[in-house]
A and B are shown apart, each in its own frame.
Chain A
Amino acid sequence: MPRPLDARALAALAANPGCKRRAVLDGAGVDKSALAAKLGSPAPFGQSQFAIVRGNSFEAKVKADGGRELLRLIGVEEPGEVSVPDLAAAGPEGRVARTALALREATGAGAWTLLDHPLLALEVAGSPVHLEPDAVVVHPDGGWTVVEIKSFPMIDGSADAAKVGAAARQAAVYVLALERVAARTEGARVAQSVLLVCPKDFSNVPTASMVDVRKQRSVTRRQLARLTRIDEIARALPEGISFDVVERTAEELAAAVECVPHQYAPECLAACELAFHCRARAREADAVEALGRSVRGELGGLTTVGAVLAAARGEEGDPEDPAVAALRRARALREEALAGVAACR
């Protein structure tokens, strides 16, 4: 049963595309939240019901008036008839098929069509995942535009750049999925800019901005293509490994997780459910990455805090190695400055 590739999984992928542990768990459709809880480091993510209520009511407002409000945001004041096809169908496969059919019909129709919560499929890591954009608008000329509705505000025309970036990456995946359908639909063309709809200033009046997602699309396409290699990683795992959160004990799960190497970085904390677990492992291993990706830049081959400190103190390391030499100078200068101040006080 494929799990939806949700915003959180995408964020985790973007934050740490090189992490094999995340790749295997996401590829295998493991519920990382439940896994993290069972491992004793529950994910700290939650959503306030105030935010959910607000988000839902805003989305309803955007889609009100039979899609005319949304078209007004695209810049079409007089859309004529706007068709809003019913996309309901039995099961996800049925909904995906229904969406594809609606897209085909709309593309030939030569009128504006709003697809409310269509369901798209995309092959990720060898298995299909389902994606549900907030909306897709089909233009009379056959162009398809992804619509992302977010509840963070656009104030004086600008918005939180990190949140817009996340929305752009999310929308880029929808663009990729739509392109697969468009390839089989005559006259269809997927717009490389998406419509981001947000509340304006401090109101809940919708406003919108077109966001060019070409960059995110090409990066994500490459990342998703690389994900197929997870079956190679999986092949390298010992026989009988299972991430069955319900059946396996915490010890078994911990051992299973440990078989797949992580690539923890502090950025994971905001993106991946397993981050606190991996952080504890990274700290146990004394890994320098626990202090941030950027600290590694000047450390060369030294990978543990212990090795760095030993090198800095002259206990270990080749003095010819520029990293070791720089550390020794750094320590000497630091000690000199601190000793000088201590002597003065």
Chain B
Amino acid sequence: MSLISTLARMEAVESGRAQPLATVRHRRLSARPLVLVPLTTAGEAGAPLGALVGTDPEEPRLLVVPQPRDRDLRFAFLADLAEEILPYVDSFTDVVEAAERNEVDPETGKKVKVEVELCADAPQLIVPSRAGIEYVRLLGRSTRFRRTAEQDPETPFPAPPRVPLLGRWLTHFGERARVPGSSLLLSATDLLNRHWATGQSSLEDQHLGALLAWIAPCDGEPGAEAALRAEVGRDAQGQLLCPPAGPATDPAFDNKLLAPAIERYDRARQSLGAAEDGESADTGLAELHGAERELRRLIASQLKPTWHSVWRAIELLRELPEGARVEDRWTRDRWSFTGHRDRIAAGEPPQPRRDDAVTAASKLAAREQAQGQLEAQEALDDPLVMAGRRLAGEAFSAEVVEVTMAWTESKRPAPRPLVTVRTDDRPHLAEKVKVYRSLDGKPQAAEFVRYEEDGSPLLRILDRMGRSREPAEGSVPEKGERIVWTLFEHDQRVGPKLPDPEETPWTHGGPPRADAVEPPDAVTPEDLL
């Protein structure tokens, strides 16, 4: 943790309230996000228990699996989930704008501009916590290789029609969430933690209830007390006042409430199955519905508080103005969304279980580039973030005290003005170190020449002054101007081009097998999904 955010945490301890870590919002918040609060069954990978899902804070859709060990009920849950999520996703696929993309012409090998569609907006999924993001990935993995009856009439346990498609979208959201600065899939805790420092540790900050207790306590209660209640407070029945934000449930809930309710449901199903006449069938059915209603009530009781917390988090974040460069990153999210839309439309197979060598390398390169971009953009958008970079010696705010015109010694002299600046910051400057400032949103480069006798840095401006001998109007810093210079670049360089997967070299195992088709997961009598 940087010293400046440590300090913010300590101020939060002292004041009992969270302290700002940002002055603008660094992530896109969609006007119409889809919130998903999932719960899973303890000890079973990918056996969902229930979920609240929807775009309207007042009207979540409650989905429940009354008996998580029942394959049909799980499939029914996933089909319902698909019916909530896919129409939402689809609502963004058709609204497009024209855009250009560089492509290599396969015949000439030259780069050409191609007119393509870009979705005008993109869907946004918000889950409570990081574990929720992980769960979205798990759901994606567990469903995208399922076979429907249409795909494979022989499959013994066909999945409902739209479930594999849901899996592909969830997988895409899950992968995109690994890209720094992306906003297609976000967690409420990450969002809040990016923008506020609480008076507790980052581990404790993963608890959504405790986190909100610091950021938005009721009645000005001190954060530590409110957070403690959120963490461990229990009612007379021993149930948590603030249930976990999922997907894991509280063991006390499982053992005391859920297990008996599931047992009752199982018994009701059994007696319904064993019913021999209409009357006992009616009684059995009523008992089954009663048991199911009770289960829905119980699971809703665990989901509702988290649902409200997620929307509360969204509300809090909406109060912050959006950072200027957030739009730029969101555009990349839109490209990512559009690209996946096109892959599905083109009938490409689901994402493989594991990336091949080239895909892995290109994802890593893209993410490293996004990370550099994010760090630079957040600092440029937000003086509080820039303050941290200044403290670290990676940027400095300086007043221009003198400007001396100078030119290159070439045939057509270009301007290379020398600028003396005064700063109280302590940047890690050394000879030839490049520094950058933002000029009309574009970076202008300078290099450090030397420290003057009084310790003032002398900089030489290198670019963005036009083509003529005299620098363009406003392109040279003026005396008295206060400018923030960064030692980091504002844009990221494009990395080396990777080979096509079919040209994977011998050092990396050669090309992946072209005939390798991802098989569906093996189905066993006891499998869980």
Contact = CB atoms under 8 A, between A and B. Distances in A.
Q: Do chains A and B touch in the complex (CB under 8 A)?
A: yes
Interface of A: 41-42, 44, 46-55, 151-153, 155-157, 199, 201-205, 266-267, 269-270, 276, 283, 286, 288, 290-292, 294-295, 298-299, 305-306, 308-309, 312, 326-327, 329-331, 333-334, 336-338, 340-341
B7 A266 contact: no
Contacts of B259: 49-50
A3 to B, nearest CB: 22
A339 B20 CA distance: 12
Contacts of A270: 203
A205 B527 CA distance: 8
A202 B526 contact: no
Contacts of B411: none
B522 interface: yes
A74 B526 CA distance: 23
B45 A266 contact: no
Nearest to A52: B43
Among B8, B20, B42, B45, the one with the most A-chain Cβ atoms within 10 Å of its Cβ is B45
B8 A341 contact: no
Q: Please list the 6 inter-chain residue pairs (A to B) with the smallest Cβ-Cβ separation, ordered nearest first.
A: A51-B43, A46-B251, A48-B42, A266-B201, A153-B45, A54-B43
B387 interface: yes
Contact of A203 (B200, B383, B526): B526
Given A292-B1, A298-B6, A203 B387 contact: no
B389 to A, nearest CB: 10
Contact of A156 (B6, B8, B353, B383): B353
Interface string B39-50: 001111110000
Interface stretch (B9-17, B78-86, B180-188, B271-279): B9-17
A204 B527 contact: yes
On chain B, which size bracket covers the interface? Answer: 35 or more
Given A48-B254, A50-B41, A292 B203 contact: yes
Contacts of B522: 201, 203, 205
Contacts of A298: 3, 6
Contact of B251 (A47, A53, A151, A326): A47
B521 interface: yes
Contact of B354 (A156, A306, A334, A336): A156
Contacts of B354: 156-157
Contacts of B201: 266, 290-292
Contact of B232 (A44, A306, A330): A44
Given A204-B527, A283-B224, A333-B387, A327 B202 contact: no
Contacts of B6: 291, 295, 298-299, 308
B143 to A, nearest CB: 10
A292 B522 CA distance: 44
B23 interface: yes
Nearest to B204: A266
B281 interface: no
B507 interface: no
A83 B199 CA distance: 58
Nearest to B46: A202
A203 B20 contact: no
Contact of B521 (A52, A53, A201, A283): A201
A283 B45 CA distance: 37
Contacts of A276: 232
A156 B528 CA distance: 16
A331 B7 contact: yes
A269 B384 contact: no
A204 B387 contact: no
A258 to B, nearest CB: 20
Interface in B256-276: 259
B99 interface: no
B44 A309 contact: no
A322 B235 CA distance: 49
Given A46-B252, A156-B353, A283-B224, A333 B390 contact: yes
A50 B254 contact: yes
Contact of B203 (A55, A151, A202, A267): A267
B92 to A, nearest CB: 29
A182 B231 CA distance: 46
Nearest to A267: B203
A334 B390 CA distance: 10
A50 B44 contact: yes
B38 to A, nearest CB: 15
A51 B42 contact: yes
9 contacts: A46-B250, A53-B43, A153-B46, A201-B522, A202-B528, A202-B529, A266-B201, A292-B203, A330-B3
Contacts of A153: 45-46
B7 A305 contact: no
A49 B527 contact: no
Given A50-B43, A205-B522, A338-B384, A295 B1 contact: yes
Contacts of B391: 326, 329-330, 333
A341 B43 contact: no
B338 interface: no
B45 A202 contact: yes
A291 B200 contact: yes
A130 B201 CA distance: 35
Contact of B23 (A44, A151, A337): A337
B23 A341 contact: yes
A202 B232 CA distance: 32
B404 interface: no
Nearest to A336: B387
